[in-house]
Amino acid sequence: MNATWSRFNITSIVLGFAFLYLPIVLLVVFSFNESKLVTVWGGFSTKWYVSLFHNQGLMDATWVTARVAVISATVATVLGTLAALTLTRYTRFKGRTLFSGMVFAPLVMPEVITGLSLLLLFVAVGLDRGFLTVTLAHITLTMCFVAVVVQSRLITFDRSLEEAAMDLGAPPVKTFFQITLPVIMPAIVSGWMLAFTLSLDDLVIASFTSGPGATTLPMKIYSQVRLGVTPEINAACTILIAVVAVGVIIASLANKRREFQRQRDEQAAQRG
């Protein structure tokens, strides 16, 4: 679409973004509140951050969450990429409809159902609940998101690149690793980041599938929130937001720089 940007358009965007961002901004602001009352400003302070780092339970949960997120995101990226390849490249095989159903359904499936069903599976096969089960559960959920992200890139992938490689004598597996993979790499990276944050974020599935000693950060935050809103939680949330924001900003800056570099190279090439 291409047309004039009316005042109505601008207003709705500004209001919409204010709605999206204001709660987060307020949360961050009140994490620096001196007062214990979350909603009454009592002056600037970083004491809640200090007390946060002395909260051993929270620190342990953070460590567990980080490990779960890294491992599950990495495995999910491999599985999700394979699933995306299957969806885009193998259009005719037995059970394809079932397969695409199994990839798309977890995206919208209420988490309580996924969580409960995974728990019952782990009990049925006699797997003790803990770190491993949470990780397996997160792999299953996030691989579907990775699959969707990578698939949307594969759809627009120019197949003649692969055909050219094979025409020049590269066998399919080599072609995949030398041609296809480098081209779809940005999508795979953003798939990994998505999987990582989803795992970092998940409360419901983790609550079902986790066991003693494997309490994740969202579970910890949730149990404290149930006891009442405290500035310490605000501080913990602020740190989480900061980590994600920094990650996203670095990724987009790197992307911009690559883009910029490419444009400069192209200009130089045209001049030269």
**Residue 30 binding other proteins, by CB under 8 A:** yes
Binding mask 242-261 for other proteins (x = CB under 8 A): --xx-xx---x---------
**Residue 212 binding other proteins, by CB under 8 A:** no
Among 35, 117, 178, 223, contact with other proteins (rule: CB under 8 A) = 117
Among 69, 147, 149, 214, contact with other proteins (rule: CB under 8 A) = 147
**Residue 223 binding other proteins, by CB under 8 A:** no
Among 62, 72, 207, 210, contact with other proteins (rule: CB under 8 A) = 207
**Residue 34 binding other proteins, by CB under 8 A:** no
CB of 272 to other proteins, least distance (A): 26
Q: Which amino acid is at 42?
A: G
**Residue 123 binding other proteins, by CB under 8 A:** yes
Among 53, 90, 177, 260, contact with other proteins (rule: CB under 8 A) = 90
**Residue 103 binding other proteins, by CB under 8 A:** yes
